[in-house]
Amino acid sequence: MSEPSVALDVRELHAFYGKSHILQGVNLHVREGEIVGLLGRNGSGRSTTIKAIMGMVDNRGEVLWRGRNVLGLKAYEIAHLGLGYVPESRDVFPKLTVHQNLMLGEKGKGAVGRWSFDDMYSMFPRLRERQHTEAGVLSGGEQQMLTLCRTLMGNPQLIMIDEPTEGLAPAVVQQVAAYLRELKRRGMSVILVEQKLAIALEVSDRVYVMGDRRIVFEGTPAELKADAATRKEWLEV
């Protein structure tokens, strides 16, 4: 069986915040239907990598999405080409209801995607109960569920998720893990930025480790588990 084709191919990606050079030549790729974990300590450049792919920071290099270089496009144009981004900060629209937040995930009036409001509400029943509540008063976990679902409503073919389990209670972490497995079951490509090694190793097909603003390791979860030196130098605190 031949491997699925490469969906996203990132070559020599550099990123800048003003004058500081944050990413120094990142290379990575994601195949169709593959979940790729992006690991590393805080400040290693993981969040910046996915922001740079999404066109949200100054960048240089090549970002090939299904063969087309999308670097230089605006974030909303990249979103329309099928890339989804879930921000780390649980950036819900606080004055709008849960349902309205989900509506804003949709990219056009009546755009039919693979995901429906019902899909979201059955993955996270808590959101159904609170659908008419202002998002600003939700708990941290509920806001995280909401941002995960909001991006899905735009029907991305590849979704980039920044630290979805950070600071969540174990029960909620389990729900997020179930969400990730559901994405996998439906054949979505995913880049998962994650701090919790256990979850990342469980759901990822392949992992990259970042350190010093570059990729320092690439391999399967099993290979990373076996590589004590890499874990000690770049992951363990």
Partner 1 sequence: MSTLNGVSYGLLLFMLSAGLTLIFSMMGVLNFAHASFYMLGAYFAYQVSSWTNFWVAFVVAPLLVAVLGGLFERAVLRKTHRFGHVAELLVTFGLSFVILELVQLVWGRTAVDYRVPAALDGALFQLYNANFPTYRAFMMVVAIAMLLALFLVLRKTRIGLVIQAALTHPETTEALGHNVPRVFALVFAGGCALAALAGVIGGNAFITEPGMAQAVGAIIFVVVVVGGMGSLAGALIASLLIGLMQTFAIGLDWSFIGALKSVGVEVTPESFGYPLWKLKLSQVAPILPYLLLVVMLIVRPKGILGTRDD
Q: Provide, rounded to whole angstroms, the least separation between the CB of residue 141 and partner 1.
A: 19
Q: Between residues 2 and 76, which has the closer beta carbon with respect to partner 1?
A: 76
For residue 211, what are its two tokens? 């350190």
Give the C-alpha separation, 45 to 43, whole Å: 5
Q: Which residue type occupies 166?
A: E
Q: Is 54 in the site for partner 1 (CB under 8 A)?
A: yes
Q: Between residues 113 and 221, which has the closer beta carbon with respect to partner 1?
A: 113
Site stretch for partner 1 (CB under 8 A), options 147-155, 165-173, 176-184, 221-229: 147-155
Q: Is 154 in the site for partner 1 (CB under 8 A)?
A: yes
Q: Is 96 in the site for partner 1 (CB under 8 A)?
A: yes
Give the C-alpha separation, 147 to 203, whole Å: 20
Q: Provide, rounded to whole angstroms, the least separation between the CB of residue 40 and partner 1.
A: 22
Q: Provide, rounded to whole angstroms, the least separation between the CB of residue 188 and partner 1.
A: 17
Pick from 11, 80, 184, 214: which binds partner 1 (CB under 8 A)?
A: 80
Pick from 46, 126, 130, 150: which binds partner 1 (CB under 8 A)?
A: 150
Q: Between residues 10 and 207, which has the closer beta carbon with respect to partner 1?
A: 10
Can you point out the beta strands (E) in the chain?
Answer: 6-17, 20-31, 35-40, 58-65, 68-69, 83-86, 158-162, 189-193, 206-211, 214-219
Q: Is 93 in the site for partner 1 (CB under 8 A)?
A: yes
Q: Between residues 37 and 87, which has the closer beta carbon with respect to partner 1?
A: 87
Contacts (CB under 8 A) with partner 1, residues 101-120: 103-105, 107, 109
187 near 33, Cβ under 8 Å?
yes
Q: Between residues 102 and 172, which has the closer beta carbon with respect to partner 1?
A: 102
Q: Between residues 90 and 206, which has the closer beta carbon with respect to partner 1?
A: 90
Whose CA is closest to 89, among 60, 117, 56, 63?
A: 56
Give the C-alpha separation, 150 to 62, whole Å: 28
Q: Is the dihedral of CA 224, 226, 230, 233 positive or negative?
A: positive
DSSP code of 215? E
Burial class of residue 56 in the structure, from the number of CB atoms within 10 Å of its CB (0-12 exposed, 13-18 middle, 19+ buried): middle
Give the footprint of partner 1 on this chain (CB under 8 A). 54, 56, 74-76, 79-80, 85, 87, 91, 93-96, 100, 103-105, 107, 109, 150-151, 154
